[in-house]
């Protein structure tokens, strides 16, 4: 029954979206979009236009997005917080190959994630993608060694400070130029396609990367260990 209901729901969604297909393939850009395309490089000096839109033009929306992520992670941590006074059975330890491989791969994966969010204004990707890659490296470490617990206090501080830094970077724009998250006039824009360019965009994207990475890592840690507790109880 449930299967039939979900199939009907899928089919209804497909029919509804079918009519949206012509809208999804526009032949020309709207006025706002064409401003982004024609003035984007001149305004922000970032070679990745998508990042310019996400962090600068629509920076306030990104702040909301980061807040949504923070609230959902807080909710999961609140609901699944570790029950104390419970005898925890040790899950079967991972094999030597898995633990050694995880230790070997952890540093390169974190480095790759950091590369993605540091170069967010130059190449595809940015804070959210890089943060997810960093979190996946932490997941590998947790799965290889279940006894390992993450330094939750340090992660919480990192997450809070980077969130605060995002708002402060916006507030600096408000003080200096009179508009929140302003880019022009806050930091030098630099030379197009160089690492130190695009003003405050890389600063904000690095902060977003740290925030997303620490949040997702803490979320995975809470979920994995809550699942272990559940197994120990049953």
Q: Which residues bind another protein (CB under 8 A)?
A: 1-3, 6-7, 9-10, 48, 50-51, 116, 124-126, 128-129, 132-133, 135-136, 139, 216, 219-220, 223-224, 226-227, 230-231
Q: Which is nearer to another protein, 182 or 215 (CB)?
A: 215
Count of Cβ atoms closer than 10 Å to residue 1 Cβ:
5
Q: Which is nearer to another protein, 128 or 166 (CB)?
A: 128
Distance CA 186, CA 188 (A): 7
Count of Cβ atoms closer than 10 Å to residue 47 Cβ:
18
Angle at CA of residue 44, ends 39 and 48, nearest 5°: 90
Q: Which is nearer to another protein, 177 or 233 (CB)?
A: 233
Q: Which is nearer to another protein, 207 or 220 (CB)?
A: 220
Q: Which is nearer to another protein, 52 or 182 (CB)?
A: 52
Contacts of residues 156-164 at CB distance under 8 Å and 24 or more positions apart, as own/partner, are: 156/214, 156/218, 158/210, 158/211, 158/214, 159/70, 159/210, 159/211, 159/214, 159/215, 159/218, 162/207, 162/208, 162/210, 162/211, 162/214, 163/66, 163/70, 163/207, 163/211
């Amino acid at each position: 029954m449930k299967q039939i209901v979900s199939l009907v729901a899928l089919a209804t969604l497909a029919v509804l979206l079918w009519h949206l297909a012509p809208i999804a393939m526009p032949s020309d850009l709207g006025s706002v979009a064409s401003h982004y395309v024609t003035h984007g490089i001149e305004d922000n000096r970032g070679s990745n236009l998508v990042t310019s839109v996400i962090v600068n033009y629509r920076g306030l929306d990104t702040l909301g997005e980061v807040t949504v992520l923070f609230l959902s992670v807080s909710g999961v941590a609140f609901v699944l917080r570790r029950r104390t006074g419970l005898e925890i059975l040790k899950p079967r330890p991972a094999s030597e190959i898995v633990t050694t491989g995880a230790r070997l791969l952890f540093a390169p994966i974190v480095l790759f994630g950091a590369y993605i969010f540091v170069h967010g204004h130059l190449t595809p990707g940015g804070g959210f993608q890089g943060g997810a890659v960093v979190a996946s490296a932490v997941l590998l470490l947790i799965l290889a060694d279940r006894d390992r617990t993450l330094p939750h206090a340090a992660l919480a501080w990192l997450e809070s400070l980077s969130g605060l830094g995002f708002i402060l970077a916006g507030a600096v724009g408000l003080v200096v130029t009179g508009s929140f998250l302003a880019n022009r006039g806050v930091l030098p824009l630099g030379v197009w396609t160089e690492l130190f360019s695009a003003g405050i965009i890389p600063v904000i994207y690095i902060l977003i990367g740290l925030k997303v990475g620490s949040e997702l890592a803490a979320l995975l840690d809470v979920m994995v260990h809550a699942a272990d507790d559940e197994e120990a109880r049953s």
